[in-house]
Amino acid sequence: MKITKAVVTAASRRQRSLPLQTLVDSDGVEKSVLAIITEEALRAGVDEICVVVCPGDEAAYAEAVGDNAGRLTFVQQREPRGYGHAVACARAFCAGQPFLHLVGDHLHVSLTDMGCAQELVQAAQVQSCSMSMVQPSHESLLPYYGCVAGRRVAGGQGLYEVQDVLEKPTPTLAEQHMIVPGLRAGHYLCFFGIHVLTPGLFDVLDECLDAAGPDGDVTLSQGLAVLAERERYLAMISDGRRYDVGVKYGTLMAQIALALNGQDREEVLTRMLGLLGQRAVDRGAAR
């Protein structure tokens, strides 16, 4: 299975400006969130990237990507029918091929020389099936992520055969259905924001959309739950870090992570320590 295409979803009406935010990447260069995500995908070996957008956002997004704009194809999500529908909009672009999928409001920092998306793509090509990156996450994070349940693959380090998928379950529901042997109590395998998916997902999403009716929303988790029943579908634990720029302080935390993972790490640490020290002095003087 060769992965040459990627799909980035960036059409959420409430979060459409997030991919346009500017950060300083690990290499010390100012880039938009979308540009960093695009480079993550290209580093994984893809040739073409589809960005699913709200109608009218194409020009701003192309400008935000800079020199890599020629690698992008924009597809409009004309109706706000959910995350699953956004992915389904890329069916024609994928043309029956498996694809890498990333979300437009998450940045990922790898703890190794290999990018997170690159690591997943290589593993999926070896396993020749759909794979999602996951991370053991405390139940306090369940309102933000879909999660999976499954059994560990014999001989596969950090690999699980997915048996069920739920979108943002409550702690009670997760405790009843999403327990994975070997994880700490109160922790679940939550999505990391990077997937490699087979074209069979599009048939599943179309069925879900038909069942939901013309005005119904469909999540990606709904489609993945059905896909797990029909095809081999694996989850792979990532040792990297994910940063949701759409939550409170999310952009700040992503910027700090990128800085501490880059060439200016020492300078940033020095400035942070100086800021904390000055804060302590100011508090002492105010007493």
Please say if the pLDDT value at position 225 is more than 80: yes
Compute the distance between CA of residue 223 and CA of residue 254 in angstroms, rounded to an integer.
29
Q: What backbone torsions phi and psi does residue 85 show, to the nearest 5 degrees?
A: -65, -40
pLDDT band, residue 118 (cuts 50/70/90): very high
State residue 176's pLDDT score: 94
List, in order of start, the domains of the chain with CATH numbers: 5-266 (3.90.550.10)
pLDDT at 136 over 90: yes
Residue tagged 């529908």 (tokens): 85
Nearest to 211 by CA among 226, 230, 229: 226
pLDDT of residue 37: 97
Answer whether residue 2 shows pLDDT above 80.
Answer: yes
- Residue 236 to residue 228: CA distance in whole angstroms: 14
Neighbours of 145 (CB within 10 A): 21
Instruction: List the structure tokens of 237.
Output: 């634990």
Answer whether 266's CB lies under 8 Å from 260's CB.
no
SS3 211: helix
**Predicted local confidence at residue 16, as pLDDT:** 85
